[in-house]
Structure 1
Amino acid sequence: MSRTELAGGVVEGTITVDGVEVRYFDSVADHFATGESSRHPLVLVHGTGGSTRAHYGYLFPLLAGRQRVVAVDFAPPVPTQGPLTLEHLERQVVAVLDAVLPDRPVTLVGYSLGAVVAAAVAARHPQTVRNLVLVAGWMKTDAHQELRNKVWQRLREERSQALGDYMAFCAFSGPFLVASQALGDSSPALTAFEPNAFTDVQMKLNRTIDISGLVPSIAATTLVIGCTHDQMVPKWHSKALFASIPDARYTEITSGHAVVIERPAQLVQIIDQFTDAPSRDAAGDIVATARP
């Protein structure tokens, strides 16, 4: 295990899990421990092909102003251990929790594939995961997702120049793309994502997701966040999670799947309000959000 201090007091560390080095970031400032806040540390889990920087670069520093924040960067499995599995990613999250926040209850936040991993970790580790936020997540891959994944795979195999456009079309909402075009912004946000071999195995894993047997056992106080214009994980998946978790409440953001880029400030606000008082809204409530 190694740790290096970065600017702003953030620590970058690594820990070995299943023979690979898993990177994490830790804001270190522990408001809960000093009595400044009753909030548990917040642990961020990114989505497919992402990283702390790509998916939480905006959210991390803002959330860290209120509570300790730790973020995990997934690492690919050792090739000789076979294909990537959900359990590989779960073990990486749990190992970081054990190393950085031993015996501490946490609020776990997962986005996209990270939400799938976070839900599975919460189901298996109820004493650790006290609160849970699932953003644009799902329980079981359906035919709609399989078709999108199949088109992505075909374009990837053909090394098609259309892959970037297809990914932007699927990730962002129509209103966001129209506004970006009107502003003359074909923008880094639309073109920065470059798939690699690890992306490929994550996309393959996405085709096989089924945690429907685990989700009903989640005991954490949960907030499920759906995205109104999501074409990658349509909001009916978030509603299914909401319906299946006993202590869940639901809210929606007017965004495409890439909510961490389209509406990061609103996402920060919603997570911040939830972590301030997770049980403010009762289980089963649909929480209204400010209209954009």
Structure 2
Amino acid sequence: MSSRRRRLAALGAAAVGTVAAAAVAGAVAERKLVGRRRTGEEGDDFGALRSDPVVVETEDGVRLHAEVDEVDPDVAGGAPGASVEPTLVFVHGYALNLDCWHFQRAHFRGRRRMVFYDQRSHGRSGRSTKHHATIEQLGRDLKTVLDELVPDGPVVLVGHSMGGMTVMALAEQEPELFGERVVGVGLISTAAGGLRTHKVLHPLLPDRIMRQITPRAMALLARAPGLVDGARRTGSDVGFLVTGKFAFGTEVPASYVEFVDEMLAQTPFEVLAEFFPNFDLHDKFSVLHAFEKVATVIVCGTDDVITSIGHSRKMAERIRGAQLVEVLDAGHMALMERADQVSSALERMVAAADAHQPGSQSA
């Protein structure tokens, strides 16, 4: 091994060791706090909102788990001859599953037709090959979901984090859909490009070091996924604390942290490692103009440490007519932490999409 490679390996070991030591030290120091936050709190019934499962098979044979909530006529109402209301399609983020939309699903349930699905290799969907673990493939998967579950009529797309990137990939691949079938878009806690994931993992070390260390460390850890998954097991103190730090900006009920921690822990580390390289390569600024044709809302927490508020501001500057909603003090999981504010922002966007439907009074 060359001296340069030995130095890089040593730096990598030191960086990974520093992160691990900090996490363990934090877990030991705050163990009592963890116990207190987990005790005596009633949680929301996360994961209880269900519909009959539907299987959508992708172009490469991966079977996606999907669920469709139909409109309840007794709840929705609607005047005779009114325009067809759009179906809301929700696309979750990295290491999560469709249950992350719990509060938005409850907000619109019965009033709007909604489609939810687990992205490939996530939740109850089938595993992808490494070759197809890309944002571009996720965009094609979304098109397949639309073809199968919303074959006609208007659509509103709502994406969180990697789900927002999925919507952007679809806009790049099928720009003609936007302004025709897609009439509204919600981009929550996401980015069009410029991500530096190594900064999230360890902001204290220089860029030039972390840019080299981070992908190599992920690849190294992926060689022993069982050991990593054991350390990430649901309910571990380290997992609980890390989830709380990176997912939320303020103190939230322990049930929220445990729910997100469970989704993260159930996503195999191999899957995390396969999708991880996508984020630094992601660049969809050139396709944002497609969203100018539809009602668009961009939502982000001001304390989001994963896709910081600056990313949302850049997108809002590039999408004429988009509404930017900055959720004060919220973190990456603003859709849970400030569920009412996020759902209200989506409600306004959907109403704007309704108003521009053919046959509507405002069109």
Structure 2 length normalisation: TM-score? 0.64
Q: 2:349 is matched with which residue: 274, 278, 292?
A: 274
Over 3 Å counting, the alpha-carbon distance change for 1:263 and 1:239 in structure 2 is same
Please tell me whether residue 11 in structure 1 is matched to residue 86 in structure 2: no
User: Take 1:9 and 1:142, find their aligned partners in 2: how far apart are those partners?
Assistant: 34
More displaced 10-residue stretch of structure 1: 17-26 or 202-211: 202-211
Q: Which residue pairs with 1:284 in the alignment?
A: none
* Percent of paired sites with the same residue: 20
Please tell me whether residue 40 in structure 1 is matched to residue 114 in structure 2: no
Q: Tell me, which stretches of 5 or more residues in structure 1 are unaligned?
A: 1-6, 281-292
Over 3 Å counting, the alpha-carbon distance change for 1:132 and 1:266 in structure 2 is same
For CA contacts below 8 A with separation 6 or more, give which structure has more relative contact order. 2
Please tell me the root mean square deviation across aligned C-alpha atoms, in Å. 3.1
Check conservation: 1:24, 1:71, Cα contact below 8 A.
yes
Over 3 Å counting, the alpha-carbon distance change for 1:200 and 1:167 in structure 2 is farther
Over 3 Å counting, the alpha-carbon distance change for 1:34 and 1:15 in structure 2 is farther
Check conservation: 1:227, 1:252, Cα contact below 8 A.
yes
Check conservation: 2:139, 2:168, Cα contact below 8 A.
no
Q: 1:191 is matched with which residue: 247, 257, 261?
A: 261
User: Take 2:280 and 2:72, find their aligned partners in 1: how far apart are those partners?
Assistant: 38
Check conservation: 2:240, 2:257, Cα contact below 8 A.
no
Q: 1:205 is matched with which residue: 278, 286, 292?
A: 278
SS in 2 for 1:215: helix
SS in 1 for 2:164: helix
Q: Which residue pairs with 1:286 in the alignment?
A: none
Q: How far off its partner does 1:57 sit?
A: 2.1
Please tell me whether residue 239 in structure 1 is matched to residue 313 in structure 2: yes
Check conservation: 2:98, 2:118, Cα contact below 8 A.
yes
User: Take 1:238 and 1:208, find their aligned partners in 2: how far apart are those partners?
Assistant: 18
More displaced 10-residue stretch of structure 1: 231-240 or 214-223: 214-223
SS in 2 for 1:224: strand
Report the number of matched residues.
265
Please tell me whether residue 133 in structure 1 is matched to residue 186 in structure 2: yes
SS in 2 for 1:58: helix
Letter in 2 for 1:137: T
Q: Which residue pairs with 1:67 in the alignment?
A: 112
Check conservation: 2:296, 2:349, Cα contact below 8 A.
no
Q: Which residue pairs with 1:230 in the alignment?
A: 304
User: Take 2:316 and 2:191, find their aligned partners in 1: how far apart are those partners?
Assistant: 10
Q: 2:164 is matched with which residue: 105, 112, 115?
A: 115
Q: Tell me, which stretches of 5 or more residues in structure 2 are unaligned?
A: 1-47, 122-126, 202-209, 222-226, 233-237, 356-363
Q: Which residue pairs with 2:295 in the alignment?
A: 221
Q: How far off its partner does 1:209 sit?
A: 0.9
**Larger strand proportion, structure 1 or 2?**
1
SS in 2 for 1:246: coil
Q: How far off its partner does 1:131 sit?
A: 0.6
**Larger helix proportion, structure 1 or 2?**
2
Letter in 2 for 1:44: F
SS in 1 for 2:96: coil
Give the structure with higher Rg (CA).
Answer: 2
